Amino acid sequence: MQLLTPTNFTDYELIDCGNFEKLERFGQFITIRPEPQAVWDKTLSSSAWENRAHIKFIPRSSAAGEWQKLKQMPDQWHIKYKINNSNAAIAFRLGLTSFKHVGIFPEQASNWDFIYDTVKAMTVPQPKVLNLFAYTGGASLAAKAAGADVTHVDSIKQVVTWSKENMDLSNLSNIRWVVEDALKFVKREEKRGNKYNGIILDPPAFGHGPNGEKWKLEDNINEMIKGVLNLLDDSEHFLILNAYSLGFSALIIENLLKQKAGKNLNTGELYLQATEGNKLPLGVFGRFRNF
């Protein structure tokens, strides 16, 4: 099993983490946000955190909260990520949401590098890539920057609109946008006989489709993976599965993918390395490519 963390994300820094919080820099602005995985003590003092931070998220319920500004900063701002070993850069509009997120999961940069390099290495002129549970589109942008024909699927219309902004900021175009329940989309693509050279899944622990469809990772992931594996092109393909759920093991990912992936399967954990020393685990992954 591998431990992967971004190594060249100059617009992002995990400064410290602990006591169920994380202190992060996004571009020039520093945030304090809840983090259920950070069960250890902070390295820096709480006063040092608040002296450095521009803004802090205050939970008001299990699903929502509000931001407390400690210093002046805008509600929206931009950052960039230069994809490893290339001249390509993708850009993101960040913003303060009521559910603690700012529009990016920086640990996924390790996967963006893999996506870009894999698409570039394929012999297919324009590999077809499907991004499910695609959020604000980091994986979609990495695939598009490498020359893929990208289909981006998310169940929330406002998030897809956010992804389009990121595409424009990245000077990219012609991503196919789909607002739909991911499992329904996969089943329909199976019936149509459509195939993809690359598939990326980053499912939440819990979620809802646009028509109230319910998603629970433990209940639905096996059915989803069976469908997704049927959509992979027989000649050249890759797949990435991420899971961020407390207690969800990389061994589960291995069991779901090993029959299709064979010896090419890599599994492990994504993490962020804090400047102050601790490693923050942020989910498990499995990925493979065959060509």
Asked whether the predicted pLDDT for residue 262 surpasses 90, the reply is: no
pLDDT tens by residue, 7-42: 999 999 999 999 999 999 999 999 999 999 999 999
Asked if 119 and 177 sit in the same domain, the reply is yes
For 121, 129, 153, the CA distances from 124, given in Å and listed in that order, are 9, 12, 22
Asked if 51 and 115 sit in the same domain, the reply is no
pTM above 0.85, yes or no: yes
Q: What is the DSSP letter of 1?
A: -
Does 222 map to a domain?
Answer: yes
**9, 76 Cβ separation under 8 angstroms:** no
The residue range of the domain holding 152 is 100-290
pLDDT tens by residue, 170-195: 999 999 999 999 999 999 999 999 99
Does 260 map to a domain?
Answer: yes
**76, 92 Cβ separation under 8 angstroms:** no
Report which of 139, 234, 223, 241 is spatially closest to residue 181, judged by C-alpha positions. Answer: 223
